[in-house]
Amino acid sequence: MKTISGGVCAAKGFTAGGVHCGIRKNREKKDLALIFSQVPASAAAVYTTNLVKGAPLLVTKKNLADGVAQAVICNSGNANTCNANGIEIAEQMCELTAGALGISPADVVVASTGVIGQPMTIDPIAAGMAALKASLSETGSADAAEGIMTTDTKLKEIAVEFELGGKTCRIGGIAKGSGMIHPNMATMLVFITTDAAVSPAMLQKALSSDIADTFNMVSVDGDTSTNDMVTVLANGMAGNAPITEEGADFAAFMQALNTVTVYLCRRIAGDGEGATKLLECQVTGAKDTPTAKTVAKSVICSSLLKAAMFGADANWGRVLCAIGYSGADVDVNKIDVAFASKAGTIAVCQNGSGVDFSEEKAKEILTEEEIEILVSLNSGAASATAWGCDLTYDYVKINGDYRT
């Protein structure tokens, strides 16, 4: 397996594009994105667990009931959530996309992101559809990635190449996510494409399995959004024997999918609103996986720890505190904690108690942009990883006037 360029356009038969249609006030920012497969594709999706769901999610779920899709349209700048005419607008977006591409409206995945409860009209999308279709190209992944951004500061895209049954296959993805990100699923918008042949049932199985260890292990601010979803389209144009059951090919596909999703998780966490650092909590020595996951997520979600990481303060007591209230069944007298980065590793806690360490070295380690929080529970063989970011002054500034 190797990383390649191209994002969602790396796989055969996929094109993408993005334009500014007028939803967002800033004309310099794209606000409408499109991904298109030359042929109908197997499709799978997972959705936010928030009881309040954006209208696009409800329409997409209906459209994907048959496990087939051929296009994805997404706007930024307005979430189309809690609007009386939300379903109507989401369906109109599907109809406009279908009309432009010559496909069925039922084969369109529709998504929106932005302000919740803001009145929305179909007019700018209708006016921009011709330009959006014209923007489709085999090099349009970055434009599509830009079109779905809100408070994101960095494009998030990746693609990898791998083999299935002697055939070269590709899988790529783009994502948006910076704030309102918290487990469980989905915590962001992610669109993944592949030219591998995978049945809808196995594609759904792969995605549902993968998110448990990837997107459900990311938190920026403790708020689960209303519009989050992850979708995968597999058009089969690589020519491999279709994956219809578990086996070596399914395992290889899962590995490729996981490579894409872990990369996007790290990019999303590192680009949290106002963030200056990516935090990765690695928990080892747990008695079982649920315990490891509970501990990792509790640590990464601690506002006090996130603030300490912003200040490069090796306040390891906040790690122990987060573990203690996590609800996980652990022996606090066995816990070891260390901080690590490219500047080195330093142990700060052993057997639940502090140890002597150099504050200067700890500060050097915690000043880096990527920080690892290493927790060993010393009670078993299970492990888990969670991703988050530091908590800065800018997070409050961004969200203090997000709507206005």
Active site residue 187: yes
Catalytic residue among 15, 81, 151, 187: 187
Report the alpha-carbon distance of residue 69 to residue 62 in Å, rounded.
Answer: 11
Q: Are 36 and 74 in contact (CB under 8 A)?
A: no
Q: Are 218 and 265 in contact (CB under 8 A)?
A: yes
Q: Look at residues 148, 173, 166, 135 and name the one whose alpha carbon lies nearest to residue 11.
A: 173
DSSP 3-state of 42: strand
In terms of residues, how long is the chain? Answer: 404
Residues β-bridged to residue 46: 230
Report the alpha-carbon distance of residue 57 to residue 63 in Å, rounded.
Answer: 10
Tokens 């109809």 found at: 95
Beta strands in 166-324 (DSSP E): 167-176, 189-194, 229-234, 278-286
Report the alpha-carbon distance of residue 36 to residue 141 in Å, rounded.
Answer: 11
Task: Give the burial string for 7-22 (b: 16+ CB within 10 Å, else e).
Answer: bbbbbbbbbbbbbbbb
Residues belonging to the active site: 187
